């Protein structure tokens, strides 16, 4: 789920090349966005569709029962053991 949440789509530049959204590619992607509002709008729509699809997958995963049993934090929901009175 966490991978889906933080994942960012690749960006297709106006020249047709495809770049992963990484710190090293940010400058080229940012420069491409500045080439025109139409291109930037297409990217925003593509990003929105990508994030929407990923979030739908996250919600589907969240609805599934935990395959390995309760999470470790479930032990904190148990009552504390009775005190033996030594102290």
Per-residue pLDDT tens over the stretch 22-68 = 999 999 999 999 998 999 999 999 999 999 999 999 888 888 876 66
Assess if residue 6 is contained within a domain. Answer: yes
Say if 84 falls within a structural domain.
Answer: no
Query: Alpha-carbon distance 19 to 26, whole Å?
Result: 9
Closest to 1 measured CA to CA, from 64, 49, 44: 64
Find the domain containing 22 and state its range.
Answer: 2-66
pLDDT for the residue numbered 53? 93
CA distance 42 to 35: 12
Domain count, the chain: 1
User: Is 42:61 a contact under the CB 8 Å cutoff?
Assistant: no
The H or E element spanning position 47 is helix 37-63
Q: Give SS3 for 33.
A: helix
List pLDDT tens digits, range 71-81: 566 555 555 55
86 or 49: which carries more pLDDT confidence? 49
- What does pTM read for this prediction? 0.64
């Amino acid at each position: 789920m966490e991978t889906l949440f933080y994942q960012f789509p690749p960006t297709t530049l106006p020249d047709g090349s495809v770049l992963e959204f990484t710190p090293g590619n940010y400058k080229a992607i940012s420069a491409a966005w500045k080439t025109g509002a139409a291109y930037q709008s297409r990217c925003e729509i593509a990003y929105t569709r990508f994030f929407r699809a990923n979030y739908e997958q996250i919600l589907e995963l969240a609805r599934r029962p935990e395959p390995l049993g309760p999470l470790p934090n479930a032990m904190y929901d148990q009552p504390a053991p009775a005190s033996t009175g030594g102290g």
